[in-house]
Amino acid sequence: MPATGHTGIRGAAHIAGAYEHPRREIPDRTVAQIHTEVAAGALADAGLQFSDVDAYFCAGDAPGFGPLSMADYWGLELRWFDTTEVGGSSYLAHVGHAAAAVAAGKCQVALVTLAGRPRTGGRRPGGSGRIPDAPEIGFENQFGLSIPANYALAARRHMYEFGTTSAQLAEIKVAASIHASHNPHAFLPREVTVEEVLESPMVADPLHRLDCCVITDGGGAVVVVSPEVAADLDRTTVKVLGHGEAPKHTTGGRPDLTFTGARWSGPAAFAEAGVTPEDIDYVSIYDSFTITVLETLEDLGFCPKGEGGRFVSDGALVAPHGRLPFNTDGGGLCNNHPANRGGMTKIIEAVRQLRGEANPGTQVPDCRLALAHGTGGALATRMGSATLILGQEDA
């Protein structure tokens, strides 16, 4: 049923601070310390302090009892907390929720953090099949379904229905690697070719090793503030223009593996922002695997369903002059994938682009509107999709 009397969050909040942890292996810090380092970094970027924070958002990567443990650790006095846990899409949802909370007058300075050590701490990516009492567990954990295999099922079906090829998927990795070559912090800073992707070992066919994201330690944080707080800060801020989120699931046993929840989260975000895909200058697209990017681009409306393979094949994703520059930090495919969750870094790179602070060689000229999209869970079973539309301060 339609909502009534709402005005949306367009312009209701700004991202005033953003910070990405520079390290990719962090064996000498606890997870709480990494949350602390990224929180301090984002607050300093905004010109704010821990004592200014009145709302805190975290997901399943936060240690202990989430906001209770971290508010205790930091000594925060909070008016609002949110532990929305939808995997890698959580942090984009958090920004949308923070903007809504700010719009409702519930808080003025919202801190969102992500941190984890899957590389040196030994935590491998896993789906809900590893969570006790997940209702589907007995019917999905008997078959050796790894995360790459889960996405491979989607890739195979997309190829079957639309003729998508492994070489087309490889183009996504190539574009990310070109961007990573400009990023001094990237885990895989070397440019790769389509041939190298296709010749890398098969993990779960049709996905090769280089179709998969990296596994790194790290983290990131953003600070979402009210327009009044933003106006008092010296730092250039980014305006939150639109947000959408949706689960996509197995539909009682009829999963369609050719699309993602971006089919719903995207249009909601565009409608709230009052813009269309043609207006977007830069996109951060969740890239756990190359197929994740391809299906998401289609679902967000950057090309028709099934045309993703052709869309990415002519350098369209390569900054600064491609039709739709994406993931200019190198993304999860090359830069980092802290805590096995790429959502936070998607927001951070979009903020950099809108502030004109992307790595030299990847800055999109006059980047006024950006989209950041997160995917949590897995393509072939159940996922959370969350989309943000962000704009320059005066957008």
Partner 1 sequence: MTTTPPDNHLPVTEPPVNSETAPYWEAAAEGRLALPRCEQCGYVIWYPRQFCPECSSTEIGWFDASGRGTVYSFTVTRKSWGEWGQAAPFVIAYVELAEGPRVLTNIVGVDPDDERLTIGMEVTAVWDRTPEGQGILRFTPL
Report the interface residues with partner 1, using CB under 8 A: 124, 135-146, 148-149, 152-157, 160, 201-207, 250-255, 257, 380-381
C-alpha dihedral over 156, 157, 160, 163, to 10 degrees? -80
SS3 139: helix
Instruction: Pick the closer one to partner 1 by CB: 161 or 314.
Output: 161
**Residue linked to tokens 């870094």:** 345
Q: Do 96 and 211 contact (CB within 8 A), yes or no? A: no
Instruction: Pick the closer one to partner 1 by CB: 364 or 383.
Output: 383
Q: Do 126 and 150 contact (CB within 8 A), yes or no? A: no
Longest C-alpha distance within the chain, in Å? 56
Min dist. Cβ of residue 205 to partner 1 (A): 5
Min dist. Cβ of residue 60 to partner 1 (A): 20
Residues 6+ apart with CB under 8 A from 104: none
* Amino acid code (one letter) for 83: T
Min dist. Cβ of residue 260 to partner 1 (A): 15
| Helix residue spans in the chain (DSSP H) | 31-46, 67-74, 90-103, 137-140, 147-162, 166-180, 194-199, 227-232, 262-273, 290-299, 308-311, 331-334, 343-355
Min dist. Cβ of residue 314 to partner 1 (A): 28
Min dist. Cβ of residue 189 to partner 1 (A): 24
CB atoms within 10 A of CB 321: 9
86 beta partners: 88
Min dist. Cβ of residue 125 to partner 1 (A): 10
Q: What is the rounded distance in angstroms from the CA atom of residue 94 to the CA atom of residue 109?
A: 13
Min dist. Cβ of residue 376 to partner 1 (A): 19
Q: How far is CA 387 from the centre of its chain?
A: 9
> In this structure, what DSSP letter does residue 323 have?
S
Min dist. Cβ of residue 211 to partner 1 (A): 12
Instruction: Pick the closer one to partner 1 by CB: 65 or 160.
Output: 160
Instruction: Pick the closer one to partner 1 by CB: 63 or 306.
Output: 306
CB atoms within 10 A of CB 360: 7
Residue by residue, what is the 3-state secondary structure of 155-168? HHHHHHHHCCCHHH
Instruction: Pick the closer one to partner 1 by CB: 74 or 264.
Output: 264
Instruction: Pick the closer one to partner 1 by CB: 225 or 379.
Output: 379
Q: What is the rounded distance in angstroms from the CA atom of residue 248 to the CA atom of residue 310?
A: 25
Instruction: Pick the closer one to partner 1 by CB: 51 or 250.
Output: 250
Q: What is the rounded distance in angstroms from the CA atom of residue 277 to the CA atom of residue 256?
A: 24
Min dist. Cβ of residue 139 to partner 1 (A): 4
Instruction: Pick the closer one to partner 1 by CB: 95 or 203.
Output: 203
C-alpha dihedral over 31, 36, 38, 40, to 10 degrees? -170
Length of the chain: 395
Instruction: Pick the closer one to partner 1 by CB: 207 or 350.
Output: 207
